[in-house]
């Protein structure tokens, strides 16, 4: 008989839980994704030949931010 509940092999009900380390990893990812354009540029500056790419990406990010403001 299928009653659409999730049961473990021992008959107990299985519940999905998120481990604490996963919460910490997600929080860390959130912080990393919140880098400003200046921080990203500063990180990429020492890489050879990255200047033109940084300028291009800066223009793209500025256009995206401008479009968000105009909405």
Any domain includes 9: no
pLDDT mean over 3-27: 61
Domain that holds residue 61: 20-70
Helix axes 51-70 and 37-44, enclosed angle (nearest 10):
170
Confidence band of 13 (pLDDT split at 50, 70, 90): low
Whether the per-residue pLDDT at 63 is higher than 80: the answer is yes
Residue 4: inside a domain = no
Q: Is 11 a domain residue?
A: no
The whole-number average pLDDT for the span 55-63 is 88
Residues 34-47: what's their mean pLDDT?
A: 75
* Domain contains 46: yes
For the chain, how many structural domains are there in total?
1
pTM over 0.75, yes/no: no
> What is the per-residue pLDDT for 17?
65
Is 48 contained in some domain? yes
- DSSP code per residue over 23-47: HHHHHHHHHHHT--HHHHHHHHTTS
5 within some domain: no
């Amino acid at each position: 008989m299928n009653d659409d509940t999730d049961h473990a092999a021992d008959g107990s009900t299985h519940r999905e839980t998120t481990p604490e380390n996963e919460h910490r990893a997600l929080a860390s990812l959130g912080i990393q994704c919140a880098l400003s354009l200046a921080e990203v540029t500063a990180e990429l500056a020492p890489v050879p030949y990255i200047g033109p790419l940084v300028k291009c990406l800066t223009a793209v990010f500025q256009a995206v931010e401008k479009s968000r403001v105009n909405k």
